Amino acid sequence: MSKAKEFIQPRETKIIKGNVAAAYAAKSARVQVISAYPITPQTTVVEKLAEFVDGGEMPGTQYIRVESEHSVMASIIGASIAGTRTFTATSGQGLFYMNEMIHWAAGTRLPIVTAIASRGAAPPWNIWADFTDVINARDTGWMSAFCATHQEIYDEILMSYKVCEDHDVLLPKFVAYGGFILSHTSKPVIIEDQDLVDQYLPPLPDEKGWPQIFIDPERPMMHGNLIMPSGFYSEFRMKIQDTLIKSKEKIKTATKKFKQIFGRSYGNGLVEEYYMDDADVGIIIYGDLALQMEQAIEDLREEGYKAGMVKLRHYRPFPTEDIIEIAKKVEVLGVMDRGTAFGSPTGGPVSSDVKASLYSTGVETKILPMMAGIGGREVSLEQQKEQVKILIKMKETGELPNDLIHGTLWHGILEVK
């Protein structure tokens, strides 16, 4: 038997694109069913997986080619109900097309992991980094995480299976990263030793499937049928919410275990703090812009400014308790969104949730909602330093900037007539 058929992967560093890192993570996780439909900028995820399957590097894995993203999620749901470890990937409009089935996956409590090479929502047509697509699915019952680096894409997908397949969780998850900025650029990524990955992840489901749902002629069950208002519909929804909140501890445990085995750390799994211990001002940011913001904070520290940064890793479940403690540390806290929530209190999804988290806590930290990088617009290092200096000025003067749009700072906006 060849090494490929034995599924042996030694630990090695490869210079690969973010999409390829996602594909390698699915391979390392020994996923059993992949459903695929191409959409920019995700396409090379499923293309690489097709190469793996066709080349015999993923023995026993079923690769399903379907006609739409709706069918992608429908087929993955069927495969997961049958008791298999599943994976797919999509972007933007493709995720929107899946929407009906996304709700079905969460309601069925299936541990599906889906990579999202995030892009702006059309119209106008946009294929560049913007997290509006995955943010649009925030209230579906799925967990969701943002990645800042190529390595984090690989690592987070592995950690996601660890959490999703925990029998106390059994919910699906999105792993999102910036389209093109991460999906199509190349960086070194450590592909881990297969034996260590197997040690870290739960065993693959056996013929009995998942504990809550299965397809077995010897154990017939009914699923998805009409339930009356007097039935358990409300209770099912409450249990999803309860599980999402309780999954925070599972995420922390999985992140800690990952560090023990592989040596890479991601804060407590929900957030990563950077220079926040003695900071006067801080900024919450997510995705690839967080990596560049680290350099901005270092530069500002050298200039004598006590500034810090918080990388938001998980959006659902929202790290409310962490946000409260972080806000207590600083006088001014900026929240940078790279995605929209039209009609919300701030126009930004994360900034609205941060404000909601602090309501009635007695925390008097000033919050400045900020928007930047929408539709993939470039945000330079100098612009990020400027954003933090706005927070510093707020601390010094006690006043908000005078160019806010409905209470939010839209940075780098062109004049629109």
Give the burial string for 2-28 (b: 16+ CB within 10 Å, else e): eeeeebebeeeeeebbbbbbbbbbbbb
pLDDT for the residue numbered 3: 41
In this structure, the answer to whether residues 12 and 89 fall within a common structural domain is: yes
DSSP per-residue letters across 206-254: -TT--SS----TTS----S----TTTTHHHHHHHHHHHHHHHHHHHHHH
Tokens of 273: 């703090």
Quickly list DSSP for 47-98.
HHHHHHHHTTSSTT-EEEE-SSHHHHHHHHHHHHHTS--EEEEE-HHHHHHT
160 in a structural domain: yes
Per the CB < 8 A criterion, the answer to whether 68 and 99 are in contact is no
CATH number of the domain encompassing residue 297: 3.40.50.920
Of the three residues 197, 229, 262, the one that is the final residue of a domain is 262
- Work out the widest C-alpha separation in the chain, in whole angstroms: 71
Residue 118 counted as domain residue? yes
The CATH number that applies at residue 207 is 3.40.50.970
331: left (phi over 0), alpha (psi -120 to 50) or beta: alpha
Helix (H) or strand (E) holding 23: helix 18-28
Q: Per-residue b/e over 73-96, b at no fewer than 16 CB within 10 Å?
A: bbbbbbbbbbbbbbbbbbbbbbbb
Q: Are residues 365 and 383 in the same domain?
A: yes
DSSP category for residue 189: E
Total number of domains constituting the chain: 2
Exposed/middle/buried for 275, CB within 10 Å: 0-12, 13-18, 19+? middle
Asked whether residue 145 falls in the same domain as residue 276, the answer is: no
Same domain? 295 vs 211: no
Rounded average pLDDT per 10-residue block, the chain, 417 residues: 58 98 99 99 99 96 98 98 98 98 98 99 97 98 99 99 99 99 99 98 93 87 89 96 99 99 98 98 98 98 98 99 98 98 96 97 97 97 98 96 94 79
Q: Which domain holds residue 355?
A: 271-410
Q: What is the dihedral of CA 232, 105, 242, 324, to 10 degrees?
A: -150
- Please indicate, yes or no, whether residues 221 and 289 belong to a single structural domain of this protein: no
Q: Do 143 and 20 belong to one domain? A: yes
Distance CA 153, CA 405 (A): 34
Give yes or no for a contact between 162 and 126, defined as CB atoms under 8 angstroms apart. Answer: no
Q: Please compute Rg for the chain using Cα positions.
A: 21
Report if residue 1 sits inside a domain: no
Q: Could you tell me if 301 and 250 are in contact, meaning their C-beta atoms sit under 8 angstroms apart?
A: no
pTM of structure: 0.96
What pLDDT was estimated at residue 417? Answer: 65
Residue 62 and residue 133 in one domain: yes
The reported pLDDT for the residue numbered 413 is 87
Integer Cα distance of 58 and 154 in angstroms? 17
- Whether 104 and 136 map to the same domain: the answer is yes
Asked if residue 404 and residue 279 are part of one domain, the reply reads yes
pLDDT value of residue 7: 63
